[in-house]
Amino acid sequence: MPAILTVSELGFYMSQATSNNPVPTLAALMDTAEAQWRLFDLGRKIQPISKNEFALIEQNQKPYPYPIQQKARFALVFWQQANSQQSMENPFIWFLQFDVDEMGLLKLQQRDHYISLVIKALGEEFISKGDEKSSELDNHPYSFTPDQNRQAAFNAQVKVALKQPASLHYEHVQAYFAGQIDIDKWQELSIQGIADFCARLTDGNNEQGLINLLPDLSVQTLSVLGANLEHQDISLPLTQALIDLQDQKLAEQDNEEVLYLLRSLAGSVAKPLIKKQLTKLLNSEEALDQTLFIIIAGRLWSYLEDKELLHLFFEKLAANHDQELFNGLFADLVSVPTTRNLVLGMLRDPSRPDHVSRALGAIFAQA
């Protein structure tokens, strides 16, 4: 896993950034340090955000594109330009989260506060007090620690993006999905190896191997696959294989596996197939499980840009679940730029069902 930067390590090549030379943005902080850097969203899906887009976000000219629970949650990956190849092999990482407002815009006072902490720590005696200053900077409210699956998926994506080799666990997982290892030995597979495999589905026969083995995988393996495939582009053949298995599990009322498979479908290129599948799931007994709605809102939110599917989503949510979950998912989707207007449009829709009207009314009654 790439290193999470400490102040003493950063100080070597950020000595230009001092309290007498303030840096207004995170992008400028990187440029002042003469660092190479990339940005990845870690909220909904692990996906890159371009430097140009992030510049607009930091200037509040554009809302953060993928907020979750009213937060922008991302990873800043960077390395020194000098001796660039060696530095790329072990880049530094900041896992950062800042609140967004009701329009999805970054709350810049939090970003500014974080930058001031960095500059203050580096502008003082960070060489002689490296550990102390590192502790001060690491102790701030803007950091977060991704869960194990997300850290593995992120690590795998960074290695692909920087053209680095996969972890040592990759070849074993690749051999497993190639049928060279007994199917019952799934416990020998590491989370990082599965993450590397998912990030390299297009390599060799990886995808076909997964398709072949899919019906026989353990529920534990499907769980880890779902947590990693949701960040990848999924082809039409793999999409169809996942849907076929999901339909089988749906008929068997195996809710747990249905939901793992749904996560796996989040990055599918076959949008019409996924829309049809989401409609089927929302009209099934699966809609009694609140996790279905959380996964759709958190991982497949782009499908809710379809007005018909959005209304079905909130109709089933209001009918089957408590007000607290309705409130939370309403607020979450309002903060996403691409769904905001459609979600707010329900407030003015006279055709909405009575139970949706009551749920919407309760949001504002509690405000």
Q: Print burial letters for 243-266: b (CB count within 10 Å at least 16), e (below 16).
A: bebbeebbeeeebebbbbbbbbbb
Q: Give the per-residue pLDDT at 6.
A: 44
Can you give the three-state secondary structure of the chain, one letter per residue?
Answer: CCEECCHHHHHCCCCCCCCCCCCCCHHHHHHHCCEEEEEEECCCCCEEECHHHHHHHHCCCCCCCCCECCEEEEEEEEEECCCHHHHHCCCEEEEEEEEECCCCCECHHHHHHHHHHHHHHHHCCCCCCHHHHHHHHHCCCCECCCCHHHHHHHHHHHHHHCCCCCCCCHHHHHHHHCCCCCHHHHHHCCHHHHHHHHHCCCCCCHHHHHHHHHHHCCHHHHHHHHHHHCCCCECHHHHHHHHHHHHHHHHCCCHHHHHHHHHHCCCECCHHHHHHHHHHHHCCHHHHCHHHHHHHHHHCHHHHHCHHHHHHHHHHHHHHCCHHHHHHHHHHHHCCCCCHHHHHHHHHCCCCCHHHHHHHHHHHHCC
Q: Give the per-residue pLDDT at 125.
A: 40
Check pLDDT > 80 for residue 141: yes
Q: Give the per-residue pLDDT at 8.
A: 42
Average pLDDT, the chain: 88
Check pLDDT > 70 for residue 22: no
Q: Give the per-residue pLDDT at 92.
A: 85
Check pLDDT > 60 for residue 358: yes
- The residue-averaged pLDDT of 17-23 equals 50
Q: Give the per-residue pLDDT at 240.
A: 98
Check pLDDT > 90 for residue 351: no
As given in the structure block, the two tokens for residue 240 are 């169809």
> For a pLDDT cut of 90, what percent of the chain falls above it?
71
Q: What is the pLDDT of residues 112-122, one digit of tens each?
A: 999 888 877 76
- The residue-averaged pLDDT of 310-324 equals 94
CA end-to-end span of the chain: 43
